[in-house]
Structure formats: structure tokens, C-alpha cells
Amino acid sequence: MVQTMPELRVPSIQHLARNWRSDPARIARILVRLVMNPPRFNYNPLYGAVRDMLVLGVPYDQVVEGIRRIQRESVRKNLLEVLPLIRDHFAGVAPDFYQTIDKRFYPVGRGLMVPFEPPMIYGMGGQLYFPWFSFWRQNPLANDRLSLFVTLVDEVLMQDPDLEAARFEILDFSCAAPKQPRTLRIIDAGEIPRIDAARKAEMLDAFAEGYLRAVAALKRNSAATDNADKEAPEADPDQPGFFD
């Protein structure tokens, strides 16, 4: 039986920044590892929870009950760790409007278009707010990777006159130390140093090279697996199995 090797999807802007390294070979190894051992869940239900509380006025207890219906215990636990922090942050917030934003793409180079899909924006008191949710428990964006992320998001937002005046905040729900509870740290993106054009081009080229190397490595692995399957002797239907 021929096995299909998992494909490498084009990463989002935040995953590009988080997995960036100066050495393309390291980037390739990281991306291959992520394909072979992908995350087991995502935090998308929390975006719905924010919408329910902010826009629909759904009581917090009802939102919690909805999360508790999720079958997998590990998923429930992760979501319920973050949900109280979200509630506290948005307590008292009554937006004049709330809307989602269509997916956009950032050209990294070498034909690689990286998707960017903000979860939401909302307006209140004449100010437009753009919160970005960072749910990584450990190793959130920092230093050059954080600057790269903010720089790329800035460029995407500046393409839209309706968004360029938005207050861009990063809501970081990571742990201060391993085995510690999550906390919420609000990062004003306006205070994050931007990366100049030359440095940005260098960083993006390294990522594009790493991505292409990862694609090539996965194709080689797939071809090797296919060849091994073809060369394996077929089982004799009349021969009893080891446990028969």
C-alpha cells in the first residue's frame, strides 16, 4: 500500500515569524518536523467565544459550558486556561461595531505567498482596535521574530486605508515559566522596533529557502517510502499470520 506523505502548507505570517532562523537548513528541519508531528488542535473556538461575548452578549457561563462540551480533555483544558483571561481583558468593552477581515497574502519571494487572516477588528469611541491573539504556551514571539511579525503585519495593514489607523495590540497568553499558569501580557505593537527593508529581505529570503528545502525533503521522503512499498514482497494469502 502506497502511503501519502503529509504536505507542507504555506505557513501564516505569525508561523513564518516564529519558525524563522538565520540558517535556512534549520528552518527546513523545523518545518519538516511540524509536518511529521503536527499540532493536535487549534484555538479557533476562542475566536467564536470572543465574538459571542462582545457582540451577542452571551453570558460567560454559557460560553464556558460550550467549551466544556468539547470531547477531548486536553483541548478543553487549554481553552479553559485562556478563556478567563480573555473575559477579564474584554470586561466592560462594548464595541460600536465588530467585524472580521478577509484573508490577505504577503509575497515573501520565490513565488511564496504567505496568508494573513486577522481574527477581528472592532471600534469603540472613534478608535479602531486590532487585537492579535498569541496562544503559544511557551516561546512566544520575541526579539527579531516579534519585530519581523509586526513589520509584515504593518505592511499588510497599511495597504488598507481603513485599517492603517487601527490600534494594533498583541495579546500574549503564554506562561512566564514552564509549568506556571498562563498570564495575559498586552504588547503595544507601536513600541516594537521595525525591521529595515534590507534586513527584512534577508530574513524572508532565508525563510523562503528553508521552505523550499523542506518541500524537497518531504518529496524525497515520500519517494523513498513509495519505493519501499513497491519493493516489499506481497503477503501470501495462504500463509497464516504470526498471530493466527
Tally of CB atoms within 10 A around 196:
10
Collapse the DSSP code of 153 into the 3-class scheme (helix H, G, I; strand E, B; otherwise coil) and give the result. helix
Joined together, the cell numbers standing for residue 51 give 465574538
What pLDDT does 226 receive?
A: 52
Whether the per-residue pLDDT at 230 is higher than 70: the answer is no
Residue from 102, 101, 98, 94 nearest 122 by CA: 98
| Residue 59 Cα distances to 51, 52, 98, 120, angstroms | 12, 8, 18, 20
What pLDDT does 240 receive?
A: 33
Q: What are phi and psi of 96, to 5 degrees?
A: -70, -30
Tally of CB atoms within 10 A around 130:
20
| CA separation for the pair 172, 190 (Å, rounded) | 15
| CA separation for the pair 233, 143 (Å, rounded) | 53
Q: What is the pLDDT of residues 189-219, one digit of tens each?
A: 999 999 999 999 999 999 999 999 999 999 9
Q: What is the pLDDT of residues 52-78, one digit of tens each?
A: 999 889 999 999 999 999 989 989 999
Q: What is the pLDDT of residues 124-152, one digit of tens each?
A: 999 999 999 999 999 999 999 999 999 99
Whether the per-residue pLDDT at 241 is higher than 50: the answer is no
